[in-house]
Structure 1
Amino acid sequence: MALIELRNIRKRYPAGEQDVEVLHGIDLAIEAGEFVAIMGSSGSGKSTLMHILGCLDQPSDGEYRFAGQAVTAMDHEQLAWLRREMFGFVFQSYHLIGTASAWENVALPAIYAGVSREERKQRAQALLTSLGLEERLENRPNQLSGGQQQRVSIARALMNGGKVILADEPTGALDSVSGDAVMAQLRSLAEQGHTVIVITHDAKVASHADRVVEIHDGDVINDTRHQPHQQDRAQPVSRPPRQSALPDLGEVLEAVIMALRSLRANWMRTVLTLLGIVIGVGAVVVMLAIGEGAKQDVVARINDRGTNLLVIRPDRGQQRVADGVIATLVPEDAEALKKLPNIRTAVPEISGNVTARANSKDVSTSVQAVSEDFPSLRDWHPVSGIFFGQQDMNSYAPVAVIGQTVKANLFPDSDPLGQFLMLNSIPFQVIGVMGSQGATDWGDDQDDVVIVPLSTGTLRLFGQNYLRSITLAVQDVSQIDATEKAAVALLTARHGREDVRVFNMASLLDMVSETQNTLTLLLGSIAAISLLVGGIGVMNIMLVSVTERIHEIGIRMATGARQRNILQQFLTESVVVSALGGVVGVVVGILVGSLLEWLGMAIVFSVPVMVASFVCAAGIGLLFGFAPALKAARLNPVEALSND
């Protein structure tokens, strides 16, 4: 049984409405260990025949059998195995990868054979040394002469054993001395048992072979044997095994190494590609940190006021009385509300603006007339002096507790305790000074206030008994909604109609949290769009990269790369550049967020957000890199090799 059998092989190429047939029913058998020259003029079809022999191309018709196996029935995986394990190519134009060193070019087939990096490096160095290139191991192709590049090509063909050496015009680009040296090396390989097939138009080159097959216009016109075939020296061949569909860890690591090398070779383009991902990821990190910071800031403010509070106010739709006060709530309502279950305290309040005078100074300030439970309700206590008590309430005592702003305005250089201030010409003795509270969310100064007993305020300052509000503090916040309904029912029964409105601080907190979550989601969506745009940029760059590296893809396929290897390589490059952009983007986001925090903005970073941003960046690389990678994997090896 011949090693290679061609039966009625035809090859046609589309050309307009009709196909052009290049090979016209070729019949050819080549024994293992033969040194054969296929000779013909330019356009005779010899290169097409070599592409079919080397499984770089498929015939249009006919049967091709290798070691008894039907090659035309093999899938992409099996054809790649043949190119990787059985064939070694020596091309006229060398077809070396320009960014790789001599030994890395030689070791290329072993990558796809699953050989470890150290082992293939040793083997590649040994092959180059045997070919006299021991001092050129780290040189790139542009640092080698034509003869040296061709010897690198021969070493690459032998990397995985090279049972069959296919040499296409191996001396065509060399001077006579280098050409003779290359032919001598091919002769030596034939004597070692390799099956050597040389494609040439030069009779002098063909004379080195034991057998010459002449081809003209797609037909074999002569088949001459000059030397008898020595079957005993032929190297044994094996059959393609079943291949695993899943890559192993070694393949993945090699893909990452090659991806990093490719990205480094085009570092400027890599930086520009990274920029889109960096901006997108950084924007997500910063925007969500801003949104979460704003949310927690607002929630903290509400918590400071108490989430266990129910504020009851008159319904403005009710009939008004003098001075614009709605005649609804009275102090007795607060006493009745105190008796409801789950009520810790109930604080009635009347407030209004007055003119305060002390030490020959007049200021306009706010007066709050409240009960003695006010400090525990707001968790706001005097920092000096005392707060009035039940006895002061019962005796209508003209005492007052002032805020820090009132103290600063009326008593800047003295202790106000024990001194008197006039409120609308009525004297009140200062018995305490409250701690600082700062401004409200809407900008009012909470420290610009004078607090007096409710009884004294209703009698001496406001002249009426109707309340502005009653604030309830509940014991169990989980039951606050039920307590709210009970309070409304009680007041409706007391007033004969429902004439109040209740502001539930816990519900307000929920509403604010939901609003802030919506705003955070909006900010995150805007940032995610920029990340998506970055992903489109990655896809665009990867498409350009595939277009620029079609020739490299053809070399890798000729040396045994499977479709999955090509897909994996370009997909890995896309994921690596996106993941790298994700890491840099997270760092940039942290730096920008820290700067904003230093400038006074509320910022809260989230580790899950950072991790999710990085994962999304890598996922975008996987998603947007798939189409370019698939395009590269589906390239025809012959067409890819011919693309310079």
Structure 2
Amino acid sequence: MDEATFQEDRSGQEVPQEASEAGTRPIIELIDVSRIYPNGESVVRALDRVSLAIQPGEFVAIMGQSGSGKSTLMNIVGCLDRPSSGTYRVDGVDVSALDADALAGLRCSTFGFVFQRYNLLPSLTAAENVEIPAIYAGAPYEERFERSHLLLERLGLGERTEHRPGQLSGGQQQRVSIARALMNAAPVILADEPTGALDTRSGEDVLALLKELNREGHTVILITHDPDVADHARRIVRFQDGCIVADERRMPEPTRPALPATRAPRRHGLARFLPDLAEAVRMAFASMHSSVFRTALTLLGIVIGVASVITMLAVGDGGKAQVLERIAQIGTNLLIVRPGAPGIRSSGDNATLLPEDAEALKAIPGISAVAPERTGRYTLRFGAEDYYTSVTGTSADYLAARDWPIARGVMFTEEDVRAYAPVIVLGQTVATNLFGDDEAVGHYVLVKNVPYEVIGVLSARGANAFGQDQDDAALIPASTGFVRVFGRRFLNSITVKVENADDIPAVEQEVTRLLTQRHQTQDFQVRNTSQFLETATETQNTLTLVLGCVAAISLLVAGIGVMNIMLVSVTERTREIGIRMATGARMSNIMLQFNTEALVVCSVGGIAGVALGIGTALGLEAMGVSIALSLMPPLLAFGCAFLTGLVFGYLPARKAAGLDPVVALAYE
């Protein structure tokens, strides 16, 4: 394969070879470079005023025993570490003036690393490992794919592109590492003990490959402690105690054009962010797949939290809708007049409301029906059947005021009221308990041993807003009730139906004025059903809010779990982060990757939670629980899950992005 094939920058423009041939400027230049590490009260000089210049196209072996400073030199040369003092230039650029992202860009475009322990990512295939530097260089997927496969084919791994590192031998893994170093056509290859973990045959193959790359124009810097390995280089620099003790040129360097640094595309804004985001999402799914059990546990918390929010809100909204529906059945344009002064709770036995008050209210404009009510609980008997129920004495306007139709038979009339007629209208529950499936109309029931003819059966209404069975009732003329049932002639309440709901305030004011005038004091209370509606709505909204908060707490706990898992993941993947940084990942790339992983986990969990929440709500509905599903709760729950990933993924992502490349690569 001709390496020149890949000497185009990512924008597709050819890089002129003449630009890199001009002059004799070293590609690597160190001037009085020292690297000092604190060690308690003293310091360790890993490098001590080292000066070294390496020309483009050289094959240099940095040789020395363990602790001599050669690995520290490689870290500084590869821009993984910074010198404590001195000057370091890469192709004339002083790296001391570069920030972390600029150093990452320099590593991406100039250096290819070959490590002793290969440093391949176990969750990726061979081809995907090779592609990593090109991802951070901004190369399109098609170009990366073709390039990685061509490099692996060249290195004899064409049939192993889809194998993971665990499926490859040591020599094969090192070839993948070399292919990764070549991915961006980096002009400088830094090989740190590349044969240290290989057998003799594989080691010879790797050294032969490095020599071949050098012949093609790559500058090769080989770190080794083995003299036999160092003998393959044309120049040997010996280190001892952080100092260069010998610099031997064993053979002249052949004249060849040096390779230029790879140029990354100049992308900004969405043109840069969207491809990076797509890669981060892809890597997030790969990371999730590599640790399925941990991912499942993390997802479980999000799923339960989201499902709880949806289910709780569905139940709360369902209960609210049910209560409001029951209040609406009563009517929202009603006034209820009860005995007792305002602010004083009355038992209903206060004799301040009289039937004449109800008659007087009929004269107020805007009122369509007035129903006086006196209620008590009594036993009704039919044959051998007894049933204890609520008996209400009222007028013929009762059904009109309550919007309650007759199912069978008729309602008693005003003529029946004036005639003290012994007639009765039964609710569905009473009729069923006394007559079963038989027809009740036309039969007689006993109330306090007085026979009443059943002339009608009310339609079913179900429970009211307070859960009471509205069908457990019987109606008789108020006049008949006062004489034969209740005894005393006063009312428990008066129900007033207003023709137009907009007139309720005016009518309420007039009712209050008229009754106050009649009683010479305000010994009554006037409430309208819209107030009941507002109270019930506020109560149900509070209940729904409480349920939602309880569910939100579970989502918060799940978010903390996500952060904890991600922090553990950062610790476990410290070496991976170091590898990515060494191959050109900027802080923003690492931040984006780990934030995206948290977002993907929470988004997948959110989608699953939405499905589970809706399924649970529908299951509860099938069991008879009143629910109300709408679009807002699932959107809210998913949005909260997404926000959870964004918020709780930030700290782990920031921790990952802030790692020192050298420390991360050395992490065990």
The TM-score, its normalising length taken from structure 1, stands at: 0.93
Q: CA deviation at 1:417?
A: 4.0
Q: 2:166 aligns with which of 133, 142, 151?
A: 142
Q: Note if 1:338 corresponds to 2:380.
A: no
Q: 1:233 aligns with which of 242, 253, 257?
A: 257
Q: Which residue of 1 aligns with 2:323?
A: 298
Q: Which residue of 2 aligns with 1:78?
A: 102
1:187-237 CA distances to partner (integer Å, 9 max, x unpaired)? 111111111111122222222222222222111222222333345421233
Q: Which residue of 2 aligns with 1:58?
A: 82
- For 1:571 and 1:273, locate their aligned partners in 2 and report how far apart those are by CA, in whole Å: 15
Q: CA deviation at 1:379?
A: 1.8
* Unaligned runs of at least 5 residues, structure 2: 1-24
Letter of the aligned partner of 1:250 in structure 2?
Answer: P
Q: 1:444 to 1:166 in 2, by over 3 A?
A: closer
**Is the 8 Å Cα contact of residues 32 and 231 (structure 1) preserved in structure 2?**
no
- For 2:203 and 2:511, locate their aligned partners in 1 and report how far apart those are by CA, in whole Å: 105
**Is the 8 Å Cα contact of residues 312 and 551 (structure 2) preserved in structure 1?**
yes
Letter of the aligned partner of 1:634 in structure 2?
Answer: G
Q: 2:199 aligns with which of 161, 165, 175?
A: 175
**Is the 8 Å Cα contact of residues 67 and 237 (structure 1) preserved in structure 2?**
no
**Is the 8 Å Cα contact of residues 357 and 421 (structure 1) preserved in structure 2?**
yes
Q: 1:50 to 1:498 in 2, by over 3 A?
A: same
Q: Structure 1 residues 329-338 or 632-641, which shifts more? A: 329-338
Q: 1:573 aligns with which of 574, 577, 597?
A: 597
1:386-440 CA distances to partner (integer Å, 9 max, x unpaired)? 2222333344444333334444455558655445445445454433232233455
Q: Note if 1:520 corresponds to 2:531.
A: no
1:107-132 CA distances to partner (integer Å, 9 max, x unpaired)? 11111111222321211111111111
1:14-49 CA distances to partner (integer Å, 9 max, x unpaired)? 100222111111111111111222222221111111
Q: Which residue of 1 aligns with 2:277?
A: 252
Q: 1:480 to 1:3 in 2, by over 3 A?
A: same
Q: Which residue of 2 aligns with 1:20?
A: 44
Q: Structure 1 residues 410-419 or 188-197, which shifts more? A: 410-419
Q: 1:155 aligns with which of 171, 175, 179?
A: 179
- SS of equivalent residue, structure 1 residue 561: coil
Q: Runs of 4 or more off by more than 6 Å in structure 1?
A: 238-243, 316-319
1:154-192 CA distances to partner (integer Å, 9 max, x unpaired)? 111110002111111222222332222222211111111
- SS of equivalent residue, structure 2 residue 160: coil
Q: Note if 1:393 corresponds to 2:417.
A: yes
Q: Which residue of 1 aligns with 2:314?
A: 289
Q: 1:632 aligns with which of 637, 640, 656?
A: 656
Q: CA deviation at 1:566?
A: 1.2
Please report the RMSD computed on the Cα atoms of aligned residues, expressed in angstroms: 2.6
1:259-312 CA distances to partner (integer Å, 9 max, x unpaired)? 111111110111111111111111111111111111111111111111221110
Matches within 5 A, 1:197-236: 197-230=221-254, 232-236=256-260
Q: Note if 1:265 corresponds to 2:261.
A: no
**Is the 8 Å Cα contact of residues 163 and 195 (structure 1) preserved in structure 2?**
yes
- For 2:230 and 2:440, locate their aligned partners in 1 and report how far apart those are by CA, in whole Å: 117
Q: Which residue of 2 aligns with 1:99?
A: 123
- For 2:282 and 2:437, locate their aligned partners in 1 and report how far apart those are by CA, in whole Å: 75
**Is the 8 Å Cα contact of residues 138 and 264 (structure 2) preserved in structure 1?**
no
Q: CA deviation at 1:354?
A: 4.7
Q: 1:10 to 1:349 in 2, by over 3 A?
A: same
Matches within 5 A, 1:350-389: 350-354=374-378, 356=380, 359=383, 364-389=388-413
* Unaligned runs of at least 5 residues, structure 1: none
Q: CA deviation at 1:324?
A: 8.9
Q: Structure 1 residues 187-196 or 381-390, which shifts more? A: 381-390
- For 1:222 and 1:66, locate their aligned partners in 2 and report how far apart those are by CA, in whole Å: 22
Q: 2:156 aligns with which of 132, 138, 143?
A: 132
Q: 1:580 to 1:351 in 2, by over 3 A?
A: same
**Is the 8 Å Cα contact of residues 78 and 240 (structure 1) preserved in structure 2?**
no
Identity %: 53
- SS of equivalent residue, structure 1 residue 173: coil
Q: 1:360 to 1:519 in 2, by over 3 A?
A: closer
Q: 1:507 to 1:213 in 2, by over 3 A?
A: same
Matches within 5 A, 1:473-512: 473-512=497-536
- SS of equivalent residue, structure 1 residue 213: strand
- For 1:242 and 1:383, locate their aligned partners in 2 and report how far apart those are by CA, in whole Å: 80
Q: Which residue of 1 aligns with 2:138?
A: 114
Q: CA deviation at 1:10?
A: 0.6
Q: Which residue of 1 aligns with 2:587?
A: 563
Letter of the aligned partner of 2:220 in structure 1?
Answer: V
1:92-116 CA distances to partner (integer Å, 9 max, x unpaired)? 2211112222111111111111122
Letter of the aligned partner of 1:559 in structure 2?
Answer: T
Q: Structure 1 residues 98-107 or 332-341, which shifts more? A: 332-341
- For 1:592 and 1:240, locate their aligned partners in 2 and report how far apart those are by CA, in whole Å: 51
Q: Note if 1:40 corresponds to 2:69.
A: no
Q: Structure 1 residues 417-426 or 57-66, which shifts more? A: 417-426
Q: Which residue of 2 aligns with 1:582?
A: 606
- SS of equivalent residue, structure 2 residue 189: strand
- SS of equivalent residue, structure 1 residue 261: helix
Q: 1:98 to 1:365 in 2, by over 3 A?
A: closer
Q: CA deviation at 1:501?
A: 1.3
Q: Structure 1 residues 133-142 or 496-505, which shifts more? A: 133-142
Letter of the aligned partner of 2:611 in structure 1?
Answer: V
**Is the 8 Å Cα contact of residues 188 and 220 (structure 2) preserved in structure 1?**
yes
- For 2:249 and 2:437, locate their aligned partners in 1 and report how far apart those are by CA, in whole Å: 122
**Is the 8 Å Cα contact of residues 109 and 263 (structure 2) preserved in structure 1?**
no
Q: CA deviation at 1:481?
A: 3.5
- For 1:103 and 1:473, locate their aligned partners in 2 and report how far apart those are by CA, in whole Å: 80
- For 2:46 and 2:265, locate their aligned partners in 1 and report how far apart those are by CA, in whole Å: 32
Q: 1:531 aligns with which of 555, 560, 572?
A: 555
Letter of the aligned partner of 1:549 in structure 2?
Answer: R
Q: CA deviation at 1:348?
A: 1.3
Q: Structure 1 residues 332-341 or 150-159, which shifts more? A: 332-341
- For 2:416 and 2:509, locate their aligned partners in 1 and report how far apart those are by CA, in whole Å: 33
Q: CA deviation at 1:535?
A: 0.9
Q: 2:299 aligns with which of 274, 295, 298?
A: 274
- For 1:253 and 1:413, locate their aligned partners in 2 and report how far apart those are by CA, in whole Å: 69
- For 2:297 and 2:386, locate their aligned partners in 1 and report how far apart those are by CA, in whole Å: 66
**Is the 8 Å Cα contact of residues 571 and 622 (structure 1) preserved in structure 2?**
yes
**Is the 8 Å Cα contact of residues 338 and 348 (structure 2) preserved in structure 1?**
no
**Is the 8 Å Cα contact of residues 324 and 465 (structure 2) preserved in structure 1?**
no
